[in-house]
Structure 1
Amino acid sequence: MRFLIVSLFINIFIFGVSYSQPEKKEIDKEIKKLEKLRTEVQNLIKRNEEILKKIEEEKSKLEKERKEFEKYVKEVEDERYKKLAKVFEKMEPELAGQKISNMEDPKKAAYIIFNMKERSAGEVLNYVSPDMVNQITKILTDIKKNAK
């Protein structure tokens, strides 16, 4: 667009090209069309910038809601593990150890042990399989590192 306008002005002013009246009218028409197109493009840019701003606001709002949701899920999980720990504390240590040894996810077992009283956890771990104890110990070490 600018190129056309500039080239027309260069032809008119620098080279001293004289145009007849019909040619001048045609050039003026083209200039008006180009100016109209320029304003339309500027309006489109403004609208798109507004839309982009709204999208960014929604994105930040969604990110905030996601963080709040993750926090809520963590709180629910923590509460669940605390309740499970109480249940395991009330079991006989041998039975609790067998149950923990049979768990598929050592992370869940570690969180249950983590939420138990130390004395009960020690008694239960005496009856847990050595492989599971090693996995639980690694996870508990990481949990305690992250807590600090």
Structure 2
Amino acid sequence: MLAFGARIAAQARIGDVIALYGGLGAGKTTIARGLLAALGLEGEAPSPSFAIVQPYDVPEVRLPVAHVDLYRLDGAEEAAELALGDYLADSLLILEWPARLGDALWPHSLRLTIEMLEDGARRLTADVPDAWTERWSQI
């Protein structure tokens, strides 16, 4: 999961949204940590479960990132109060538990779903929007 996050980081751009779906312990935060490390973050990135939004800025990382964990929100109304769209002007947005946004997820979002299998393995399914089509082949 860390290595996969690093491969995504190599293709990530300002204005991108990476939406991570999966149950507790599936590996969403691990993918985000791999991505952040590949962008230059030294040390371990904390899970934003309690802060909800954990921003990272240059020079800490090579491009600004907002790592968001929506798990504790009750729904789209609370998520709207975070004004997450404002980050898209100058940051990469990583979303854990994006289903809490309801129908408000941006159509250009790269949607990654992690399923935990009975044998402990994980299956990753990607919904790749047009904005990522060419870049996805490099991941």
Q: Which has the higher helix share?
A: 1
After TM superposition, the score normalised by the length of structure 2 is 0.26
Tell me which structure has the larger Cα radius of gyration: 1
Q: Which has the higher contact order (CA 8 A, sep 6+)?
A: 2
Alignment TM-score, normalising by the size of structure 1? 0.24
Query: Which structure has more strand as a fraction of its residues?
Result: 2
